[in-house]
Amino acid sequence: MRVRGGSGLGDSIYLRPVVDHLERAGKAVTVMSHYPDVFIGTRAEVIPVNKSRPVDCIAHYTTERFRQTSTQWQDILRTGKLPADLALRFTWNPRNVALLERVKRDAGGDPIVLVHGGRAPFGRSDGYGKFLMPRQEGFKEVLEVLSGWGKDDRCFTVRIGQGEQYRLPVNLDLTDHTSVSDLLDLATICDGVITQCGFPVPLAECFGKPVLGVWSARGLAAGDKVIRSITPAKVLCGGYERFIIDEWPIAQIHEVARSWRADALRETVKVGA
């Protein structure tokens, strides 16, 4: 059975629970993806994305992107004719133990929070989607709260991903130094994720980790209908998320970030992911 979604890393992460479901049903699966590491642990054959080739299941959200009464994950299940109650979850056995031990040692017992932001959306160089990138100032205000004012409330922040258009103050910057497999490893040990819209959202949700989304006010008001449709309500699907808008007053950003740190990080323990 040939399956595909979109071409991005986040699209492949969404596909992993779909592949697991099909294999549990006894299907032999060929999945189209540019990120074969995501499917380590499955029996699936992985081939590059080629939208001109026939497929048996398209598990993607683009045909429903303008429906604001459903989430991207719900759209994927509906489009792929998959069970509506299929969980956005999968099991991953960490591979880069040395990296994880290093991060945990450096964190010194503080909650580990992955950070992704300040990067061109969609990985495109033509500027499309640039309004989706939050202002640096809004992101910094969130991280200011996470740095804490004492031992009991600080977090250890780890930046992930590739490339950058602006820097962010974090404890450990792994920009351009992780494989896809490493990212999945880090997701298993982190306590939460702070991110602009992008692959870290499904990455966190698949492991039951709380997300604090940093959204761009310019994106939500963009003239382009597609960009404008990429809202927190559409993208955040896992049930342990909150968000801020980069142009909110500083006090409001701090309030949401403090609340997320205090409450959502405790949800990680409750979920047991």
pLDDT tens string 49-68: 998 899 999 999 988 889 98
Residue range 189-238, pLDDT digits in tens: 999 999 999 999 999 999 999 999 999 999 999 999 999 999 999 999 87
Distance from C-alpha of 106 to C-alpha of 122, rounded to nearest angstrom: 31
Residue range 162-188, pLDDT digits in tens: 988 899 999 999 999 999 999 999 999
Mean pLDDT of 65-72: 92
Provide the CATH topology of domain 97-271.
Rossmann fold (3.40.50)
Domain spans, the chain: 2-79, 97-271
Mean pLDDT of 81-107: 97
pLDDT at site 269? 45
pLDDT at site 273? 35
* pLDDT > 70? residue 46: yes
List, in order, residues 6 or more apart from 203 with CB less than 8 Å away.
10, 13, 183, 184, 187, 193
Percent of the chain with pLDDT over 90: 81
Distance from C-alpha of 148 to C-alpha of 100, rounded to nearest angstrom: 23
Confidence band, pLDDT 50/70/90 cuts, at residue 270: very low
Percent of the chain with pLDDT over 70: 95
Q: Which residue has the higher pLDDT, 269 or 250?
A: 250
Torsion over CA of 239, 222, 49 and 22, rounded to 10 degrees?
20
pLDDT at site 268? 54
Helix, strand, or coil (residue 200): helix
Confidence band, pLDDT 50/70/90 cuts, at residue 271: very low
Mean pLDDT of 25-34: 98
Confidence band, pLDDT 50/70/90 cuts, at residue 150: low
pLDDT at site 272? 37
* Sign of the torsion formed by the C-alpha atoms of 135, 138, 139 and 141: positive
Q: Which residue has the higher pLDDT, 148 or 31?
A: 31
Structure tokens belonging to residue 10: 């986040």
Count of other CB atoms within 10 angstroms of residue 97: 9
Mean pLDDT of 77-94: 96
Report the chain's mean pLDDT, rounded to a whole number.
92
Mean pLDDT of 31-45: 98
